[in-house]
Amino acid sequence: MRFITAPALWLVCFLSVITLTESARILAITAVPSYSHQIPFQPLWVALSQRGHQVIVLTTDPIGDPSLTNLTEIDFRSNYNIFKKIDFAKLRFTDSWLTISRNIMWENFYELTDTILKHPKVQKMYAPNSDEHFDLVIAEVLMSPALYVLAHRFNAPLIGTTSLPLFASHYYSFGFPVLPSHPSTWEMEYNTGFNLSLWQRMTNFIRLWNYIYNMHNEFMSRQQALAKEYFGKDVPDIIEMEKNISIIFCNLQEITSFIRPQPQNVIYFKSFHQMKKPAALPNDLKTFLDDVPNGFIYVSLGTNVAIQSLPKHLRHVFYYVFANLPCKVVWKFDGDSSNLSNNIFAANWFPQQDILAHPKIRLFLYQGGAQSTEEAVYNAVPLLGIPILADQCTQVRKMVSIGVAKSLEIVDLTVKELNSSIMDILLDERYKERMLEIKALYEDKPNNMELEDAIWWTEFVIRHKGVSHLRTSIANESWYERYDMDIIAILSIIMFITLMITLLIIYKLLKIIFNWLCTKKPIDVKKKSN
C-alpha cells in the first residue's frame, strides 16, 4: 500500500475541515421579545447562512428575506404580548431593578421559555423520535437557561449571546470575581461607585449575594423543572451547562463600559447591524428637517417605555420644554401628537440610525440603551440620558464619566432641569468635540472585521466541538474555595486564638506582678536610720 505524502495529508485534513464547516446545521435562539436584543445578531445569522450553513432561528423579529434560502425563521413575535403586560415606566417609580427582576421578570421569562419549548415546530425538532440534528446551538444567556438543554439534546456545543453586559450571576458561574460595588455591576444601578463607605459596600455585598443565591436556588430551580418537563428527568444540571458554554458573543465595547476582569471565552464586538451608509429619510420627515437653521434634537426612550404611561406632570414637562426650545425636535412618541408644538415632529417609529447620521442633529435624548449608545458614538452625537430599566443607569453613567453626556433622573424630573441640561449640551461645544474623540477611539482597532471574527469563532467551535481550553477551572470550585474563604476563616480563627492567648498571658503576668507588689513588706525607714 502506498503511503500518503505529508502535503496530501494536510490537504485532505483541510478539505475535511472546510466540508465540516460549510455543511454545519445551526440552531439559534434569541428569546427576548425586544428589537434591541434581536438586531445586533441578525447580520450574523445572515452571514452564516450565506456561507452555506443551514441556520434555523427562533426569533420575535424575523428578517423575512426570501433570498436567504439557508435561513429558516420560526416566528415568535406573539411573545411580545408577554412583555407588554409590564409597564417599565411605572416600575421605575416603585422598585429597584433587583426587586423588579425577582418579582416580575423571573416569572415572565419562565412563561417566555415555556412558550418556546412547547411550540409545535420546536417540539418536533427535539422529540425523542426526531432524526433532526444540529452541529451547534446558539442561545441568548438572558434568563432562559432551560433552553441550554437543546444543546444537550442534539449533542452539540453551546454558544451564548447577549446584547447586555453579563449578569453578576454569570461572572460567578464562569469563575470570575463578583464585584457588588463596582460600577460595571449594572444590576445595582446607582448604588455602585468608587470610594464608597464601608456601610454602602456592605449593603451592596449583602443585596447582590442574596440575589445570586436566590437566582441559583429559586429561578434556576424552576428553569430546571421546566427543562425536565419537556426533556425528561435525566436532563443535565443547567447551572453546569451554563458553566460549560463554549463562548459568549457580547455586544459591548471597552470605551462605552466600565472595565473589569473578563472571562477569556467572552468575545466582545461592536453592533454588526450598524449601517455604514444612511438611507434616505421618509419624505415627510425629510421635509421637516430641510429647514433647521438651529439644528434639531432626537428624542427616544426606546421600545419598552411608552410616553403615555409616564405620570401626567412628567409628560407636561416634556411638552413644555420641547415646545420652547430654539431648535426642532424629532420625538418617538406613542400618543396623540395633534396638540404638540409645530417645532415637534412626532411618530411612533423612526429609522433611528438614519436620523443620527443627519448632519444637522445636535443632541440625542435617550434612555441609555446599549445599541442606541453605539449608534450615537458611531455618528458622534452628544447624549442626554434618562435611564429607565436594567443596564441603562450604568450605561448613561459611563457616558457621563467620559464627558459626552449629561444624566437626569426621571423620578423627580423638572422643567428647569430638563431645559437647562438640553441647553447646556447645545451651547457647549466640548460635548461634541469629546464625542468625536470617543468615536476615533471606538473605531481605532487592528481590524474592523468583527462580523468575520464572529463567524470564525462560530466555525471554530463547530470544528472543535467546543472550546473547553478557554474556560477557567475556577468555575468548578465551590464559592469558599475560589475566594479562599476557608483559608481566611482558618487564619482568622488562628489569629483570634493567638490574640486571646497573648492577652491571657499578659493578664496573668500583670496579675503576678501586681500581687508581688502588694505582698512585699514596706521598709521601716526610721529603724534603718538607727
**Region 110-117: what's the mean pLDDT?**
95
| 245 or 473, which is more confident | 245
d(CA 71, CA 365): 36
Is 148 found in the same domain as 65? yes
Distances (CA, A) of 381 to 197, 249, 301, 353: 35, 26, 16, 11
How far the first Cα of the chain sits from its last, in Å, is 127
Q: Under a CB-based contact definition with an 8 Å cutoff, are residues 385 and 368 in contact?
A: yes
pLDDT-derived band at 268, boundaries 50, 70, 90: confident
Amino acid 7: pLDDT:
41
Amino acid 526: pLDDT:
53
Q: Is 17 exposed, middle or buried (0-12, 13-18, 19+ CB in 10 A)?
A: middle
pLDDT-derived band at 523, boundaries 50, 70, 90: low
Question: Which of 104-108, 279-283, 419-423, 524-528 is predicted with the least confidence, judged by mean pLDDT?
Answer: 524-528
pLDDT at 306 over 70: yes
- The reply to whether 523 falls in a domain is no
pLDDT in tens, 46-60: 999 999 999 999 999
pLDDT-derived band at 443, boundaries 50, 70, 90: confident
> Helix, strand or coil for residue 72?
strand
Amino acid 524: pLDDT:
55
- The reply to whether 37 falls in a domain is yes
Is 195 found in the same domain as 84? yes
User: Over pLDDT 70: what percentage of the chain?
Assistant: 93
The amino acid occupying position 527 is K
**Region 261-286: what's the mean pLDDT?**
84
Is 311 found in the same domain as 209? no
Q: Which three cell numbers stand for residue 73?
A: 425563521
393: Cβ contacts below 8 Å, ≥ 6 apart: 97, 186, 189, 190, 368, 387
Amino acid 63: pLDDT:
92
**Region 373-396: what's the mean pLDDT?**
93
pLDDT-derived band at 367, boundaries 50, 70, 90: very high
- The reply to whether 363 falls in a domain is yes
Question: Which of 234-238, 485-489, 518-522 is predicted with the least confidence, judged by mean pLDDT?
Answer: 518-522
| 273 or 510, which is more confident | 510
| 254 or 283, which is more confident | 283
Is 311 found in the same domain as 244? no
> Helix, strand or coil for residue 331?
strand
pLDDT-derived band at 12, boundaries 50, 70, 90: very low
Could you say which DSSP state residue 219 is in? I
Q: Under a CB-based contact definition with an 8 Å cutoff, are residues 233 and 145 in contact?
A: no
Amino acid 249: pLDDT:
93
Is 345 found in the same domain as 297? yes
Is 323 found in the same domain as 286? yes
**Region 330-337: what's the mean pLDDT?**
86
Share the mean pLDDT of the chain.
Answer: 88
Question: Which of 130-134, 267-271, 369-373, 509-513 is predicted with the least confidence, judged by mean pLDDT?
Answer: 267-271
pLDDT in tens, 124-154: 999 998 999 999 999 999 889 999 999 999 9
- The reply to whether 15 falls in a domain is no
- The reply to whether 526 falls in a domain is no
pLDDT-derived band at 448, boundaries 50, 70, 90: low
pLDDT at 454 over 80: yes
Domain boundary among 457, 476, 495: 476
Q: Which domain holds residue 254?
A: 21-270+448-476
> Helix, strand or coil for residue 281?
coil
State the DSSP H helix or E strand holding residue 21, giving kind and residue range, or none if neither.
helix 6-22
- The reply to whether 516 falls in a domain is no
**CA geometry: angle at 178 spanning 369 and 194, to 5°?**
70
The amino acid occupying position 423 is M
Amino acid 112: pLDDT:
94
pLDDT at 1 over 80: no
Query: How far from the centroid of its chain's Cα atoms is residue 423's Cα?
Result: 31
| 90 or 375, which is more confident | 375
pLDDT at 11 over 80: no
Q: Is 328 exposed, middle or buried (0-12, 13-18, 19+ CB in 10 A)?
A: buried
Is 266 found in the same domain as 282? no
**Region 78-107: what's the mean pLDDT?**
86
Is 200 found in the same domain as 340? no
Detail the DSSP E strand segments found in 257-388. 266-269, 296-300, 328-332, 344-347, 361-366, 383-385
Amino acid 2: pLDDT:
41
Q: For residue 133, what is the domain's CATH number?
A: 3.40.50.2000
Question: Which of 112-121, 363-372, 471-480, 515-524 is predicted with the least confidence, judged by mean pLDDT?
Answer: 515-524
Is 351 found in the same domain as 228? no
Amino acid 16: pLDDT:
44
Domain boundary among 391, 423, 443: 443
Is 168 found in the same domain as 35? yes
pLDDT at 527 over 70: no
Total number of domains constituting the chain = 2
**Region 371-385: what's the mean pLDDT?**
94
Torsion angles phi and psi, residue 365, rounded to 5: -95, 120
Question: Which of 53-57, 171-175, 236-240, 268-272 is predicted with the least confidence, judged by mean pLDDT?
Answer: 268-272
Q: Which residues of 52-73 are buried (b: 16+ CB within 10 A; e: fewer)?
A: ebbbbbbbbbbbeeeeeebbeb
**Region 232-240: what's the mean pLDDT?**
91
Is 284 found in the same domain as 159? no
pLDDT-derived band at 253, boundaries 50, 70, 90: confident
Write the DSSP string, 363-384. EEEE---HHHHHHHHHTT--EE
pLDDT at 464 over 60: yes
Is 126 found in the same domain as 37? yes
- The reply to whether 508 falls in a domain is no
- The reply to whether 168 falls in a domain is yes
pLDDT-derived band at 522, boundaries 50, 70, 90: low
**Region 218-234: what's the mean pLDDT?**
94
**pTM for this one?**
0.85
In sign, the C-alpha dihedral spanning 205, 210, 213, 219 is negative
